């Protein structure tokens, strides 16, 4: 079986989920990403990425408690799974190994 792939945007979202450990939810992820990438992102893209990664088993979710904010809707928190972490590690290793192959010449 082909192992599930990780798209570029999905990877970014997954990184934020891992970084915000246990406190990551839609809006927080969105804001973090917008700040880091300094560009506008639509919330629906974040939702889609999260849904796909949950289906693939990279993240897990749980509902938080009811508060008076958000029109009384509960937050849905995401945490990275072991499989997701493994995926990130692989990705990181792959990129680093290729990066290290860059010959030491001046790119000026």
Partner 1 sequence: MEVPPPKYAHRFLRWFCRDDYLEEIEGNLLEMYERQYEDSPEKAQRQYGWNVLRHFRPAFIRSFKVYQPNNYRAMLRHNLILTFRSFQRYKSTFLINLIGLSSGLACALLIFLWVQDELRVDKFHANNDQLYQILEQREQAGKLVLFRTTAAPTAEALAADLPEVTHATTVYNSSSSVLSVDEKDITAKGQFVGNDFFRMFSFDLVQGDAAQVLTDPSSIVISKELAQRLFGTTEEAVGKTIERKSDHSYQVSGVFRNVPRNSSMQFDFVLPFAGYQREHEWTSEWSRTSPATYVQLKPGADLASFNNKIANFVRDKTEGQIFHRTMFAQRYSDVYLYSNYENGEQSGGRITYVRLFSWVAVFILLIACINFMNLSTARASRQMKEIGVKKAVGARRGSLASRYLSESVSVATISLLLAVLLVSLLLPSFNEITGKQLTFAFDVNLILIAIGITLFTGLVAGSYPALYLSGFDPAVILKNKLNRSVGEQWTRQGLVVLQFTLSIILITAVWVVYQQVAFVQNTHLGYDKDNVLYFERLSWEEGNLKAFLGEAEKIPGVTQISSIGHDMTGHNSGTTGLQWTGRNPSDRTEFEVVRANYGTLELLDIKLKEGRTFSESFSTDTAKIIFNEAAIDYMGLTDPVGEEVELWGENREIIGVVQDFHFESLHENIKPLFIILNPNSTWNIAAKIEAGQEQETIEQLSQLSKKFYPDYPFDYWFLDQEYQALYAAEQRVAVLSKYFAGIAILISCLGLFGLAAFTAERRLKEIGIRKALGASATSIVQLLTSDFTKMVLVAITIALPISYFAAQRWLQNFAFSISLQWWYFVGAGVLVLLIAWLTVGFQTVKAAQANPVECLQDE
* Binding residues vs partner 1 (CB under 8 A): 25-27, 30, 42-45, 47-48, 51-52, 63, 69-71, 73-76
> Dihedral of CA 78/79/84/90: which sign?
positive
For partner 1, the closer of residues 40 and 82 by Cβ is 40
Per-residue CA distances from 24 to 20, 63, 71, 89 (Å): 5, 11, 19, 20
Work out how close the CB of 73 gets to partner 1 at its nearest, in angstroms, rounded to a whole number. 3
For partner 1, the closer of residues 26 and 81 by Cβ is 26
Tell me which residue of 38, 34, 36 sits closest to 46, measured CA to CA: 34
For partner 1, the closer of residues 7 and 86 by Cβ is 7
């Amino acid at each position: 079986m082909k192992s599930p792939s990780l798209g570029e945007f999905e990877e970014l979202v997954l990184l934020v989920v891992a970084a915000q450990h246990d406190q990551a939810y839609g809006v927080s992820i969105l804001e973090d990403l917008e700040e880091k990438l300094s560009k506008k992102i639509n919330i629906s893209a974040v939702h889609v990425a999260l849904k796909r990664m949950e289906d693939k088993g990279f993240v897990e979710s749980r509902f938080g408690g009811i508060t008076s904010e958000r029109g009384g809707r509960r937050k849905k928190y995401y945490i990275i799974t072991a499989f997701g972490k493994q995926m990130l590690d692989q990705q990181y290793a792959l990129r680093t190994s290729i990066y290290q192959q860059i010959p030491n010449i001046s790119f000026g």
